């Protein structure tokens, strides 16, 4: 079982080339559907201010793209970062968020 896990981990890449194009409108729609309307601008700010680290991408044989990363807390960079996972699917050349999870309390 450990060998299977190691092999799966080896398919994670640092290149964002396989990530479908996602617009801010797509992200806003996903967040609104989750009841998190005002988070998008804050998330973009975290990305531009280097709170997001260790971004890895993996594609499966069904056309889904998985993105995982670590996100430091806004006021507590000395604490352990949260694990963030996103699953995207390409539809008509656009990326659609099909699943998103975070290790924070809000999920």
DSSP string for residues in 5-54: HHHHHTT-BS--TTSPP--HHHHHHHHHHTT-TT-HHHHHHHHHTT-EEE
The pTM of this model reads 0.72
Query: pLDDT digits over 69-101, tens only?
Result: 998 876 666 778 889 898 999 888 788 888 888
Compute the mean pLDDT over every residue in the chain, rounded to the nearest whole number. Answer: 76
Tokens of 89: 């699917």
DSSP code, position 80: P
Strand partners, 68: 56, 85
State residue 85 phi and psi, 5-degree precision.
-130, 135
Q: What percent of the chain stands above pLDDT 90?
A: 12
């Amino acid at each position: 079982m450990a060998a299977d896990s190691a092999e799966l981990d080896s398919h994670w890449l640092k290149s964002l080339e396989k990530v479908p194009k996602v617009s801010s409108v797509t992200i806003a729609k996903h967040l609104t559907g989750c009841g998190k309307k005002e988070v998008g601008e804050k998330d973009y700010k975290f990305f531009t201010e280097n709170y997001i680290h260790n971004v890895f991408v993996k594609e499966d044989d069904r056309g889904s793209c998985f993105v995982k990363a670590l996100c430091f807390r806004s006021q507590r960079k000395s604490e352990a970062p949260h694990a963030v996972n996103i699953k995207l699917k390409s539809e008509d050349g656009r990326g659609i968020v099909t699943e998103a999870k975070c290790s924070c309390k809000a999920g």
